[in-house]
Amino acid sequence: MGGLVDPGNAVQGAIVELTRELADPVRLTALQVLAAEGPHTMVQLADVLGVTPPRLGNHLARLRAAGLVTVQHTGRHATYRVGRDDLLAVLTALARYAGNDAITPPRPAESTVDVAHTCYDHAAGRLGVAVFAMLVDRGALRPPDGSAAGLTLGGDLSAFRDLGVDPAAVDPGRRRLATACLDRAHRVPHLGGVLGHEVLDALLAGDLVRRGTGDRELRVTPAGSRRLAALLPGFRAA
């Protein structure tokens, strides 16, 4: 019987090729943004990543060759999206693995900003990530697949109501109702769009969180600590 290390094995080869592409921070982050937030033009993506379009173009060419992104040309614009709708699940698993305290070296003490802060007009940090995960897990939101910038509501909206928000009563106006926004620290999505704003307003109105002294800081109150620990699996304010 031969050994398990087999360069000709298709599954093994695919995993090796994927990890090779994910090993570069620019390519990894580009995939994370496209998988979580949906299609971007090269200029938009370069702006988000903080790199020049020519530098990003080289990386996108590699990702296209590997089948991890696709591109659609419309006039003078090229729009990039993920090439597989299951890629976010892989990237999320890797991000959670990397954030596992059991496998990472000791970190500095976590600040209140790490726990919760605002991103534009919605909640981010561990709180924002936990809210998004709960909404997806309970079927209130369909998980992003990289095909669109907005998110689709699921069939069970009770999780939103538990947060103090009734999606049926929300008028998005010209904004998107719900979006996935890649959390800068945790590299998994938190909730943006009008519903993200409404959730933050409900948390503030219920005195579960309060605005801190910093520009974007949110502080979880003692009552919020108890309520959110019961509502959001795995979330602890301290």
pLDDT digits (tens, 9 = 90+) for 186-238: 999 999 999 999 999 999 999 999 999 888 999 999 999 999 999 999 999 87
Higher pLDDT, 30 or 2: 30
pLDDT over 80 at 48, yes or no: yes
User: For 73-89, how does the pLDDT look when each residue is reduced to its tens digit (9 = 90+)?
Assistant: 988 888 999 999 899 99
Amino acid at 91: L
User: For 144-191, how does the pLDDT look when each residue is reduced to its tens digit (9 = 90+)?
Assistant: 999 999 999 999 999 999 999 999 999 999 999 999 999 999 999 999
Residue with tokens 């090796």: 16
38 backbone φψ class: left, alpha, beta (φ>0; ψ -120 to 50): left
State the pLDDT confidence band at 111, using cuts at 50, 70 and 90.
Answer: low
Average pLDDT over residues 35-42: 96
pLDDT value at residue 43 = 94
pLDDT over 60 at 60, yes or no: yes
pLDDT value at residue 77 = 84
Q: Which two tokens stand for residue 185?
A: 């620290």
At 183, phi and psi to the nearest 5? -70, 125
Cα–Cα distance for residue pair 192/186, rounded to 1 Å: 15
pLDDT value at residue 112 = 72
pLDDT value at residue 218 = 96
- 2 to 5, 6, 8, 124: CA distances (angstroms): 8, 9, 12, 49
pLDDT over 60 at 105, yes or no: no
pLDDT value at residue 194 = 98
The proportion of the chain whose per-residue pLDDT surpasses 90, expressed as a percent, equals 83
Rounded to the nearest integer, the mean pLDDT of the chain is: 92
Task: Give me the torsion for CA of 169, 175, 180, 181, rounded to 10°.
Answer: -130
Average pLDDT over residues 78-104: 87
DSSP class of residue 217 equals B
Task: Give me the torsion for CA of 173, 178, 179, 185, rounded to 10°.
Answer: 120
State the pLDDT confidence band at 104, using cuts at 50, 70 and 90.
Answer: low
pLDDT value at residue 238 = 72
Higher pLDDT, 104 or 4: 4
